[in-house]
Chain A
Amino acid sequence: MRSADVSDGHVQDAAALPVAAAAAVGAAPRAGARLEIQGLRHRFEGLQVLDGLSFEVRPGEIYGLLGPNGCGKSTTLRVLTGLLEPDEGQLLLDGEPVAPGGRRLRQRMGVVFQSPSLDPRLTARENLRLSAALYGLSAAEAKSRIEELLALANLESRADEAIDAFSGGMKRRLELARALLHEPALLLMDEPTTGLDERSFRSAWERIERLRDERGLTVLLTTHRADEAERCDRVAVIDGGRLIAEDSPEVLRRQVSGDILTLEVRDAEALCAELSERFQLAGRVVDGRVVLEREQGHELIPRIVESLPRGRIDSLSMHRPTLSDVFVKLTGRSLGDDAEPASIDEGVDEGASGKGETA
């Protein structure tokens, strides 16, 4: 569990460093937005899944929608791709109004789904060929694009194998290649790294960042992982189908000023009250743990530990704020992202199929 481990917090910080440079792009004078979403509303089974969601994605940036499952981020992608009709809302592509899921939008978008969208019985090359045909690439164009993208996905040597036997990471890379075939103006990615192990996660992100830097690719992605959101140029924090906050990860993190102390106890509510009474500490209970935000957190640790009877606290940890903490601060709820099971499906075969397949 991430938040219960001090060192883990530092790992996240390190991972977030390269973002600083990219954040400057976000702050630059506004070019026209690539995609503008205005007042998106959608009700489903009595639930307001999207509640007036508005945001814009600028050309050449990686824009992340961060929120827990059910916050409406995947619904937003479904609306964009036409898999769902919204009740209300406008879309502008490069300043021109487009229908949600309309043909003009679909022509210029590439989509990487969370679930597979390739035919497992066909080879990598065959899959790409069919996709190229869907977007009307000429035979010569398709041929050169396919070779180029197979190289990008690091799959040249296995291009003529049925993808059934591919590892999770290889399939993901092929999905990305497929989505890029027609050189989309906007790439949508739904939870792009779900189920990938740490190594594949990093290489997947390096690949996306390279596409942004070298070709100016514009990306809109959804994630419920704070560490993934840290790598975006700008992040929209989504909760209850609304935009709660939006900025670069750096600026968002400043919302949480100090260190984050997490105390695992059996009676979190009681301890929270006790801390407030004895130390005037305003903590809160999140997922059965007491969470405190505090400058100079390390000085507080001995005081708390010494003042409480032995055995009262199961564990106490401290880390620098992450977007996870920002989310908690903004919504009072956790992202629910710390138990990402990287082992159930793709994670396992990713590890098992071994070497030479990570870029």
Chain B
Amino acid sequence: MEQVVAGQRVRPALAEELSTIGVLVRRDLMRFVRERSRVVGALVQPLIFWLVIGSGMSGTFVLPGAGDVDYLEYFYPGVVVMVVLFTAIFTTMSVIEDRHSGFLQAVLVAPGSRFSVVLGKSLGAGTVALSQSALFLALAPLAGFSLSEINWPLLLGALSLACFSLCALGFSVAWWLDSTAGYHVVMSLLLLPMWIVSGAMFPAPDGGVMAWAARLNPMGYAVSAVRRALYQGGLPEGTGLWASSTLVEMGVLVGFSLLALAWSVHICYRLR
């Protein structure tokens, strides 16, 4: 048995940061793999949502411009983003409990910096959200999308950024409010309306306040990019976002991710 000596473990700071990030990602994935019932639940709920609302609306929904898109088909990309949203909310919520009576305590007093704590948790929760949405994407043929005709790189790129940014945002809210009830209130007041005007349920209107709300809403660009990927880049008329293109959408998502990360890191350093 070794002696506990005052000898110092010399380790480059970067290695410590990478271990911290790696541990947080590993831990979220280990939990994800273990919690099968949660995974199934998180799949069934949006499925029901999609089928019930989708078939309920399909009779009345008429897409302005082109009328040949069935509502179940129109709604599907929106539900994919909803899966991301719900999983992100659920997975980052653990930050609150974890910080005071859980695993995060040990991570915070380990050598890694808080930057890595935020980045690691956002990546970990983001990976869980991405895996969860990937499971839902297996149902794409039900909505009329052939799995072999999807632009997978674009889809995964857009979803990864959406997952990461929403988890980083969730981290900041969780850390800042430090209460589960408050977290739910803020997240549903902030993110649900964002999702509703994102073009997930209906196309963004052309003018007025709602049009601007849609244009300023980063989630709209995520929904649009997912839809674009499902249609192999060629969006049906009337479903796209104002002045949008693959480049614009990915640019907005990258920008939003960086902003959310910076904001979350700021909050985490400010509020000890």
Q: Does B190 contact A (CB under 8 A)?
A: no
Given A185-B6, A215-B1: A117 and B106 within 8 A (CB)?
yes
Q: Does A288 contact B (CB under 8 A)?
A: no
Given A103-B13, A115-B100, A135-B111: A185 and B30 within 8 A (CB)?
no
A235 and B246 CA atoms in complex are apart in Å by 66
Q: Does A182 contact B (CB under 8 A)?
A: yes
Binds A, one of B16-24, B151-159, B177-185: B16-24
Q: How many residues of A contact B (CB 8 A)?
A: 40
A19 and B49 CA atoms in complex are apart in Å by 66
A117 and B106 CA atoms in complex are apart in Å by 6
A83 and B269 CA atoms in complex are apart in Å by 10
Given A133-B19, A136-B11, A182-B9: A82 and B108 within 8 A (CB)?
yes
Q: State how many angstroms separate the Cβ of A326 from the closest Cβ of chain B.
A: 31
A148 — which chain B residues lie within 8 A by C-beta?
1
In chain B, positions 129-146 with a C-beta closer than 8 Å to chain A are none
CB 8 Å contact bits of A178-192 with B (1 = contact, 0 = none): 100011110000000
Q: State how many angstroms separate the Cβ of A99 from the closest Cβ of chain B.
A: 12
Q: How many residues of B contact A (CB 8 A)?
A: 36
B5 — which chain A residues lie within 8 A by C-beta?
183
Contact at A136–B105, with CB atoms within 8 Å? no
A102 and B256 CA atoms in complex are apart in Å by 31
Contact at A117–B111, with CB atoms within 8 Å? no
A182 — which chain B residues lie within 8 A by C-beta?
9
A332 and B15 CA atoms in complex are apart in Å by 51
Contact at B102–A119, with CB atoms within 8 Å? yes
Contact at B23–A134, with CB atoms within 8 Å? yes
B26 — which chain A residues lie within 8 A by C-beta?
130, 133
A118 and B103 CA atoms in complex are apart in Å by 5
What is the predominant secondary structure among interface residues of chain B facing chain A? Answer: helix
B3 — which chain A residues lie within 8 A by C-beta?
215-216
Contact at B105–A113, with CB atoms within 8 Å? yes
Contact at B16–A81, with CB atoms within 8 Å? no
A107 — which chain B residues lie within 8 A by C-beta?
8-9, 11, 111
Given A81-B109, A83-B109, A148-B1: A130 and B27 within 8 A (CB)?
yes
A59 and B4 CA atoms in complex are apart in Å by 11
Q: Does B112 contact A (CB under 8 A)?
A: yes
Closest B-chain residue to A102, C-beta based? B111
A83 — which chain B residues lie within 8 A by C-beta?
108-109, 272
Contact at A84–B108, with CB atoms within 8 Å? no
Contact at A103–B113, with CB atoms within 8 Å? yes
B112 — which chain A residues lie within 8 A by C-beta?
134
A183 and B7 CA atoms in complex are apart in Å by 10
B35 — which chain A residues lie within 8 A by C-beta?
121
Closest A-chain residue to B269, C-beta based? A85
Given A115-B101, A133-B23: A178 and B272 within 8 A (CB)?
no
Given contacts A117-B101, A136-B11, 8 further A-B contacts (CB under 8 A): A81-B109, A108-B8, A121-B30, A133-B26, A134-B19, A134-B110, A148-B1, A185-B4
Interface positions of A (Cβ within 8 A of B): 34, 59, 81-85, 94, 101, 103, 106-109, 111, 113, 115-119, 121-122, 126, 130-131, 133-136, 148, 178, 182-185, 214-217
Can you spell out 12 A-B residue pairs with CB atoms less than 8 angstroms apart?
Answer: A82-B272, A103-B113, A106-B110, A107-B8, A113-B105, A116-B101, A121-B30, A130-B26, A135-B110, A148-B1, A178-B106, A185-B4
| A-B interface, 6 closest residue pairs, ranked by CB to CB distance from nearest | A115-B101, A117-B106, A134-B110, A117-B105, A81-B109, A107-B111
